[in-house]
């Protein structure tokens, strides 16, 4: 009877700990959202300058609250990015007691590298890829064809593609982790290259706008990062042999 009671108490303690972790994460988002929202107009202007660069064009909005809603969306995204280290720490503190020491070290390195790769991918998209996509679109303008760019379209495109590139840049980490953990053999990944190429093309077609430049700009880094993950896995395998 006492064993059952101990198990019940243990389950309740875990639920309470999980609840406390969630509340801390949600509270951090709520606390930082208001000051971030207050500076969201400046963040929006900086983002527009990065995307438009030297192009002498203006972005248009088509409803009275369109820009206000964009500021809320942008503030929410920035809020998540800034609070992510704190939230990751809370999640880590919740799961750490159940892990072995070698598992803790591995997950710590994975969390850090994953965050770093996500930031690199998002910044690469913002500063390199999106300006190229916008310039490509503007190249079709002529004396009787004028571009009319909506601010919602541009900002939503930038947020969506930044997310897509951030996730795509996780490719080497995913490949390396799967090989290191033994879930997938190195030779299996090596022989799956044709399927991986097709898969990346499909994902690029889903995550990017329906133009060839955006799709290629996502496909090429994704495939190169897959090969980079294979290379790291090969080096690790040779060291272990």
User: Distance between CA atoms of 1 and 23, rounded to whole angstroms?
Assistant: 33
Query: Predicted confidence band at 3 (pLDDT cuts at 50, 70, 90)?
Result: low
d(CA 221, CA 138): 24
Residue 93 lies in a domain: yes
Domain extent for 14: 2-122
pLDDT band at 33 (very low <50, low <70, confident <90, very high): very high
Residue 22 lies in a domain: yes
Is the pLDDT confidence value at 4 over 70? no
Terminal-residue alpha carbon distance, the chain: 51
Alpha carbon distance 167, 119 (integer Å): 10
Whether residue 203 is contained in a domain is answered as no
Mean residue pLDDT of the chain comes to 81
3-state helix, strand, coil in the chain (%, to 5): 85, 0, 15
Please give the full DSSP string across 155-192, using - where no structure is assigned.
HHHHHHHHHHHHHHTTHHHHHHHHHHHTSS-HHHHHHT
Residue 239 pLDDT grade (very low, low, confident, very high; cuts 50, 70, 90): low
Cα–Cα distance, 24 to 47 (Å, whole number): 30
Q: Does residue 202 lie within any of the structural domains?
A: no
Structural domain includes residue 138: no
**Which of 37-46, 83-92, 156-165, 189-198 shows the highest mean pLDDT?**
37-46
Closest CA relative to residue 157, chosen from 198, 111, 213: 213
How far apart CA 201 and CA 218 sit, in angstroms, is: 9
Question: Domain total for the chain?
Answer: 1
- 207 domain residue, yes or no: no
Rounded to whole angstroms, what are the CA distances from 54 to 122, 134, 145, 176, 205? Answer: 21, 11, 20, 40, 29
Q: Are 231 and 190 in contact (CB under 8 A)?
A: no
* 132 assigned to some structural domain: no
Q: Classify residue 25: in a domain, yes or no.
A: yes
């Amino acid at each position: 009877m006492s064993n059952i009671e101990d198990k019940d108490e243990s389950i309740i303690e875990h639920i309470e700990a999980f609840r406390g972790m969630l509340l801390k994460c949600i509270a951090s988002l709520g606390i930082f959202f208001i000051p971030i929202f207050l500076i969201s107009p400046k963040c929006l202007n900086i983002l527009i300058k990065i995307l438009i660069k030297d192009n002498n064009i203006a972005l248009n909005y088509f409803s009275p609250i369109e820009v206000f809603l964009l500021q809320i969306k942008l503030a929410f995204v920035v809020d998540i990015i800034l609070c992510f280290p704190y939230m990751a720490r809370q999640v880590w503190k919740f799961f750490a007691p159940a892990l072995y020491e070698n598992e803790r070290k591995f997950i710590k390195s994975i969390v850090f590298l994953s965050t770093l790769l996500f930031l690199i991918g998002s910044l690469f998209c913002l500063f390199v890829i999106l300006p190229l996509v916008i310039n490509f679109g503007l190249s079709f303008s002529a004396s009787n064809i004028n571009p009319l760019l909506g601010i919602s379209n541009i900002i939503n495109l930038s947020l969506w593609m930044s997310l897509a590139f951030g996730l795509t840049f996780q490719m080497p980490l995913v490949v390396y982790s799967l090989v290191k953990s033994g879930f997938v053999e190195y030779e299996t990944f090596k022989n799956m290259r044709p399927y991986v190429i097709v898969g990346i093309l499909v994902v690029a077609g889903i995550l990017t706008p329906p133009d060839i430049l955006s799709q290629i700009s996502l496909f090429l880094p994704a495939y190169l990062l897959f090969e980079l993950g294979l290379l790291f896995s090969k080096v690790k395998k040779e060291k272990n042999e």
